[in-house]
């Protein structure tokens, strides 16, 4: 009988050291970091169709109960460079944060590129608990969840005894590895950590680039506040995740704002250098016919279906010459330059018209790689793709 007790009890205690410490509770830390302005995936390829704030929020709404108690944090660098479009994105992003009820969001390198005056109204409007080491911001926030008293900070010196300490930072791993006092460090430096690192008693995780996945770190914490065990998993945010309707609404408003950017920017450039397919067709009709059978000829309607035909971030690859002198400007002002037309591959045709003997730009792989990049066309393979678009 004595042996029986030993055999049964000892392995049990070894497996669950927690039982030795009295009451053990579970807390989830749900995190993002290094999203870099990716409000949602472009949808160019099913293989890269992951992430986006609408799915992130949808997942949280649906699993709120099973995740609870949890805290939700963004470790910073959720924006990209300061441009008019990026400002609209920043507002949409913050609105999404407020709908998801983030407990803390760090303003780090990318957010620091925007002036304080830009954020101040938005932060009040959306009540975002921001921490940053910039002047006029708090560096730390206390958050209570059930029995847990959590200190979330961007300052590596600001850990507090007796609380669960979470540091949000974009410092590289070698610089934070030696830090002491932190239970959890969440990075937004863009480093991919498939699994958490453990250093000096600290659990180090990193936000998944572009927010394609949501990080979920589960801590087992005893009554003295010590982290006994942890588990980590990635929640993929694929097409199967139901979107949150309120965040989708915010994205629609963002889309309308973006379309307004082009309208507000005045007239297209007066001199149109690109001729458009109907001009080429005057002498090369058979080539137009074969082109029409390729997906390039429907590239703009793909944007229309996605409700993105006014978004410069999409237009640049789904039209001819956007952003160049005399290229596509908007569907209204330059309707003859929608879609990936002849001149997207052959270069623009004015000189050719003046003198047919002048060779047009030779078509080689580099031409395709302007648009067929890893995130939009992960299966791109030049000979295979070339075969599909050859004039026949």
346 lies in the site for ligand HEC, by CB under 6 A: yes
Q: Which of 50, 291, 328, 329 binds ligand HEC (CB under 6 A)?
A: 291
**Residue 78: Cβ within 10 Å count:** 30
Q: Which of 231, 253, 359, 381 binds ligand HEC (CB under 6 A)?
A: 359
Q: Which of 302, 304, 333, 336 binds ligand HEC (CB under 6 A)?
A: 302
The count of chain residues that interact with ligand HEC, using the rule CB under 6 A, is 59
351 lies in the site for ligand HEC, by CB under 6 A: no
Q: How far apart are CA 300 and CA 321, in angstroms?
A: 13
103 lies in the site for ligand HEC, by CB under 6 A: no
Q: Which of 185, 214, 250, 275 binds ligand HEC (CB under 6 A)?
A: 275
Q: What sign does the CA torsion over 372, 378, 383, 384 have?
A: negative
Sheet (strand 70-74) strand order = 130-131, 104-106, 70-74, 24-32, 213-222, 227-236
Burial 152-190 (b: 16+ CB within 10 A, else e): bbbebebbeeebbbbbbbbbeeeebeebeebbbbbbbbb
What does residue 176 show for φ and ψ, rounded to 5 degrees?
Answer: -105, -10
Q: Which of 23, 363, 374, 381 binds ligand HEC (CB under 6 A)?
A: 363
Please identify, among the stretches 118-126, 187-195, 201-209, 374-382, the one whose residues bind ligand HEC according to the rule CB under 6 A: 374-382
CB 374, min distance to ligand HEC, A? 10
Helices (H), ranges, the chain: 2-15, 53-67, 84-100, 116-126, 173-176, 245-264, 277-292, 299-306, 312-318, 342-346, 350-354, 365-369, 382-389
By C-beta, is 25 or 284 nearer to ligand HEC? 284
371 lies in the site for ligand HEC, by CB under 6 A: yes
* Sequence-separated (6 or more) residues with CB below 8 Å from residue 146: 25, 27, 69
Q: Which of 26, 36, 43, 181 binds ligand HEC (CB under 6 A)?
A: 43
CB 80, min distance to ligand HEC, A? 13
Residues forming contacts to ligand HEC in the complex (CB under 6 A) are 42-45, 275, 277, 279-280, 282-284, 287-288, 291, 295-296, 298-299, 302-303, 306, 308, 311, 313-314, 316-318, 340-346, 349, 352-353, 356-357, 359-360, 363, 367-368, 370-373, 376-377, 379-380, 385-386, 388-391
């Amino acid at each position: 009988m004595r042996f029986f007790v030993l055999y049964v009890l000892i392995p049990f205690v070894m497996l669950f050291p927690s039982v030795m410490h009295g009451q053990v509770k579970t807390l989830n830390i749900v995190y993002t970091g290094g999203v870099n302005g990716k409000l949602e995936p472009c949808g160019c390829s099913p293989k890269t169709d992951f992430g986006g704030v609408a799915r992130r929020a949808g997942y949280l709404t649906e699993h709120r109960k099973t995740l609870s108690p949890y805290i939700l944090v963004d470790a910073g660098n959720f924006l990209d460079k300061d441009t008019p479009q990026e400002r609209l994105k920043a507002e949409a992003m913050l609105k999404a944060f407020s709908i998801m009820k983030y407990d803390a969001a760090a303003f780090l390198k990318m957010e620091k590129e925007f002036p304080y005056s830009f954020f101040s109204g938005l932060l009040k409007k959306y009540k975002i608990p921001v921490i940053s080491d910039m002047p006029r911001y708090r560096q730390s926030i206390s958050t209570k969840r059930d029995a847990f008293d959590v200190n979330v900070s961007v300052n590596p010196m600001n850990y507090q005894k007796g609380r669960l300490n979470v540091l949000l930072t974009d410092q590289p791993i070698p610089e934070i590895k030696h830090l002491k006092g932190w239970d959890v460090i969440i990075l937004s430096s863009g480093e991919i950590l498939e699994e958490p690192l453990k250093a000096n008693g600290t659990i180090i995780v990193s936000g998944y680039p572009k927010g394609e996945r949501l990080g979920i770190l589960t801590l087992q914490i005893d009554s003295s506040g010590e982290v006994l065990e942890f588990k980590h998993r990635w929640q993929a945010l694929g097409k199967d995740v139901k979107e949150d309707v309120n965040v989708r609404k915010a994205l629609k408003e963002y889309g309308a704002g973006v379309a307004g950017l082009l309208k507000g920017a005045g007239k297209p450039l007066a001199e149109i250098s690109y001729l458009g397919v109907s001009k080429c067709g005057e002498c090369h009709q058979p080539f137009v016919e074969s082109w029409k059978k390729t997906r390039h000829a429907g590239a703009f309607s793909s944007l229309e279906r996605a409700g993105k035909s006014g978004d410069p971030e999409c237009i640049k690859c789904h039209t001819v010459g956007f952003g160049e002198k005399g290229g596509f400007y908007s569907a209204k002002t330059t309707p003859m330059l929608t879609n990936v037309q002849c001149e997207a591959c052959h270069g623009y045709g004015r000189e050719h018209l003046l003198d047919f003997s002048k060779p047009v730009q030779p078509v080689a792989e580099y031409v395709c790689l302007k648009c067929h990049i890893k995130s939009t066309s992960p299966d791109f393979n030049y000979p295979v793709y070339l075969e599909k678009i050859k004039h026949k």
